[in-house]
Amino acid sequence: MKGVAARSAGTVRLGPGTLYGALKRLLEAGLVGEGRERADPERGDERRRYYRLTPLGLSVARAEARRLDAMVRAARRKKLIGVRPA
């Protein structure tokens, strides 16, 4: 949750239910897998889990990025947003 907030400069905040529900669905769909890396139990975070994109997940993420890029380009052509990236 902290990582998502940091990576999005605070614009995206996930609650535990949203995060773990999304992870469960991504695991079931085969888009992410649980990594083998484990946190250091001496630091008190032995429950921490690490996830990674699967090859399928990477393919889906790339396709979604292309779709979003096309939508942004269309919005720029229609002058809905600025010509230059914000």
44 CB neighbour count, 10 Å cutoff: 9
Are both 45 and 74 inside the same structural domain?
Answer: no
Asked if residue 66 and residue 39 are part of one domain, the reply reads no
Q: Give Cβ neighbours of residue 34 (< 8 Å, ≥ 6 apart).
A: 27, 49, 50, 51
Assess whether 48 and 61 both reside in one domain.
Answer: no
Same domain, yes or no: 74 and 86: yes
Q: Which pLDDT does position 1 carry in this prediction?
A: 87
What is the total count of domains within the chain?
A: 2
Query: In this predicted structure, what is the pLDDT of residue 7?
Result: 92
Q: Are residues 15 and 47 in the same domain?
A: yes
Residues 6 and 39: their CA atoms lie apart, in Å, by 20
In tens, the pLDDT along 5-64 reads 999 999 999 998 999 999 999 999 999 999 877 666 666 666 778 899 999 999 999 999
17 & 4 share domain: yes
Q: Domain check: are 13 and 30 in the same one?
A: yes
Pair 59, 53: CB distance under 8 Å: no
Specify the pLDDT at position 48. 79
pLDDT of residue 40: 64
pLDDT at 86: 55
